[in-house]
Homo-oligomer: A and B are copies of this chain.
Amino acid sequence: MSEQTKLDEEIVTNGINVTEYEQIVAAVRDDPELAKFEFRARNVWEMGGFNRTTISGLYGAGEEHGTEGRCFVVEAAEPPVLLGEDQAPNPVEYLLHALTSCLTSSIIYKAAARGVNIESVESTLEGDLDARAFLELSDEERKGYQNIRATFRVKSDASAEELKEMAEFSPVLDVVRHGTPVTLQIEKA
């Protein structure tokens, strides 16, 4: 089979190469070790509420990725109402970004794998947070979000019910809904 023929036979749905997706599923079924990923982030404090995260390499599918050239720098800051200078979104806003981008991609990937075309996805997220616990003014409130509301508008032939089931494969949704153990180690520099 020529390369051209092979390319002609590749199926791409919603921008996802479904042929490759199915090859990954087959490879992981044969060797579950290929499903193991490690993601990483490195942060350096600048000043006040302003700090900077570098994201480069990751491990997955049995090897290191991004060792040459992959490097993203993402800033976090606080708005003036939280005593910052607003150079960037704040950490709890980035949590909403992580969640909504993951829900969106989960719909797109799952739909592609099932042969469902998606025309558009838009979403809005809102999170309620009471600052009293952080300010040590209350033991009754929690520190993090009390609730998060995610509303999606999707243009597609799939039913709302099926789209929701696709979204619920989201890894970030799983972490936010059910929690993940975090080992926190502080060393003196």
Q: Is the CB of B180 within 8 A of A53?
A: no
Q: What separation, in Å, do the CA atoms of A45 and B160 have in the docked complex?
A: 17
Identical copies of this chain, number: 2
Q: How large is the interface on A (under 10, 10 to 19, 20 to 34, 35 or more residues)?
A: 35 or more
CB-based contact A183/B105 at 8 Å? no
* Contact across chains for B98 and A98 when beta carbons are under 8 A apart: yes
Nearest-neighbor residue (CB-CB) of A72 within chain B: B89
Q: Residues on A close to B: CB < 8 A? A: 14-17, 20-21, 24-25, 28-29, 32, 35-45, 47-51, 53, 55, 58, 60-61, 65-66, 70, 72, 74, 76, 78-83, 86, 88-106, 108-109, 118-135, 137-138, 141-156, 159-160, 163-164, 167-189
30 contacts between A and B (CB under 8 A): A16-B83, A24-B83, A25-B135, A35-B132, A36-B131, A39-B92, A43-B123, A45-B108, A53-B100, A55-B97, A60-B81, A65-B79, A70-B79, A76-B105, A95-B98, A95-B102, A98-B98, A127-B180, A144-B173, A144-B174, A145-B175, A146-B180, A149-B185, A150-B185, A152-B185, A154-B188, A160-B188, A173-B182, A176-B180, A178-B179
